[in-house]
Amino acid sequence: MIISVHQPQYVPWLGYFDKIYKSDIFVYLDDVQYKHREFQNRNKIRTKDGPLWLTVPVIYSGQGRQPICDVVIDNSSRWNEKHLKSLEAWYAHAPYFKEHHNFFTELYEKNWEKLGEFNIHIIEYMLKQFGVNKQILFESQLGITTQKTDRIVDICRKLKADAYLSGSGGRDYLEEAKFTEAGIKLVYQEFKHPVYKQQFCSGEADFMPFMSGIDLLFNEGPNSCKILGTA
């Protein structure tokens, strides 16, 4: 059984969903420390002028340990209206934007309090659209208290996994020997970003990878599953 884990991100990129698809069980790391200015509260969409960052403002002191599940959205500004208007402005002419417009309208009209819950609501919608149906658990419900590599190994042990699927960046920080000692096979994700029909793109040389996964969804609609490899 293959396990993968990740923090709940805001409108994640395609590699996020590829990792879930290639796992038997995926665990939201909702109890790890929130990291400011990473992808937990922001992501990119494509415009005719290049990438545009959409950032969810949060109330974060930057002091002490604050788990993602406790991070509160700062609703003092009209960030949600700005995000919706950005999607409408840059994807209004995308072939399949209208099919998802109602979801995003209702999403941004709701007054969300917790960042983690907000992100997961979007991820669940995107998983359904990409045809990914896997068992998903929450780290906060597993009672894991260790840190770093030990944390991942203990999650695998708790769920009786014999393999752990890590993002390629895990090579920089995982203590590989600990997986060997625990009898868990460590596998690194090999994800080749697909090229698809993207707005404001005249050819493959102009294609911009690593945008939010909604870029694929709005541009390719039902073809997204085949392009992502989840069909």
The domain spans of the chain are 2-228
CA atoms within 13 A on the CB side of 137: 18
**122-138 confidence digits (pLDDT tens):** 999 999 999 999 999 99
Lookup result for tokens 């402005």: 89
The model's pTM is 0.96
Residue recorded with tokens 């417009």: 101
The structure tokens 């990473």 sit at: 38
pLDDT at residue 103 greater than cutoff 70: yes
DSSP 131: T
d(CA 188, CA 220): 28
Alpha-carbon distance of 54 to 212, in angstroms, equals 10
**% of the chain with per-residue pLDDT over 70:** 98
